[in-house]
Structure 1
């Protein structure tokens, strides 16, 4: 739609007036034969009803339209127009070809982005600033973040439950296979993968251990201590393929739910005596392997097992 004629200084040439809306041409185009000019939006809307020139009714379609001559574009550019924000106090009168750049910087533009300087630094349209309240906004942001956190926690809990179910199924399958081997010696050819056999052989070679001070377990062993334990595991014959997993499980970030927090460790400390634990040779540390602790819940053991490092309180049985 065209510009309101009353916004312009002086008279406007009638050739620059759109015959459809009666305003000064905006983004003008013209018909190819009769050369009548129209606002692009006006003629496009006109063509949705009929395919003729609005002035002389000659046949025209959108595909036939072309830009107006340069001389007409120059005439339009030189017209001087009042700012769109005159009703908001702007008194600027600019050339039509400079109107867009002026509007982007006009301090009276109610949609111009401004920054709240009262506390939260939020950027918003200037017209919204008088009704903006920092505390209300920040409270809404906190509520949104809390809702998002709750959603993430629920998703994480769902994933953890699925993982626990998968681990439980794997343990049950291993238990069934072990029972089948015991009941039917002729099925010994159905051996577990070589890696699992190596793990079982290594675990069997370790000395059973008893932990007397569960409260001395180190929840976040530093890199140096982890390196010492890793070296001891390798020296004891632990398959290299599982060493890195065991060392990762020595840190509380990888512990199962039954060990995850100080509160759960205090609540479950009597259950820990049911662990089948093996001494890591020469160290105040034990391994609790999943293959030997199928009697413990999934919230107590991780695959392939846990390395528990203590400041004191580990004895060989």
Structure 2
């Protein structure tokens, strides 16, 4: 009960409604879900923005859920509905058929590539794909906190990257938060290369410097994991193929919207394919172009927002530093803008 999956996701209200509609949300154990009641965003100067659920008349802004728990209940749903499950890998693709490593040839009207940022199906089908490195590494770990987080997700924009502490269920040791630190890759590599005890001590020192004791003393309670951060986009549709999630697009995690965009892809694709004309096949390019158009605006908007924020806070130019922190002060005093920000995040 005190061990948690290293990767957690912030589930938006739109994603929660979708999962609830599938009958999946209620299968998640409530004791392992933490609700986000507020967000606290610190600039690299004196800028500060606070967003609260009550400002938009919402019971919560989001929910923090472990990746492992989501996967577990989805697998249960697949079994309950009797969907065939093949433990195999995509080894090749020709229109209308996938060659697998073990099972041979599988034919279908439509193949959905929801197989991650390094999508084997996307590569086998030769779909266009662009990737740009942020030269940042995402570091994740769970921490014991000296003070209760009170349902607040707290974020700091710093010279060495973007640090986020996400509320988690309490453990036997007290309050717990999940750390997601988008750190400059050179600094992250140094930290990851340290022996376990030295790594823990160094990370705790860095956290103390970064958070200024906002949650009291922070103690590392899980192994530290790192993964490279990239900005990616791919051709989302081709005859007989649709891409969804990280296979189709990958964003900087500073807004925590990657999985929410992926679930939005799934909802749109299922709805559009189910609603196609009776004479069209599921993999008809006209049908899949409708899916691509439906997802173009939300994906582009989130891409511009996350990439723009990364560039804005990544610049060390003095005028920009003043501008971004002044902008945060203005947002903090503007309830209407706060409501719009909350509504935009909730819709994804």
Higher relative contact order (CA 8 A, sep 6+): 2
* Structure ID, larger Rg: 1
> TM-score normalized by structure 2?
0.19
Structure showing the higher helix proportion among its residues? 1
> TM-score normalized by structure 1?
0.20
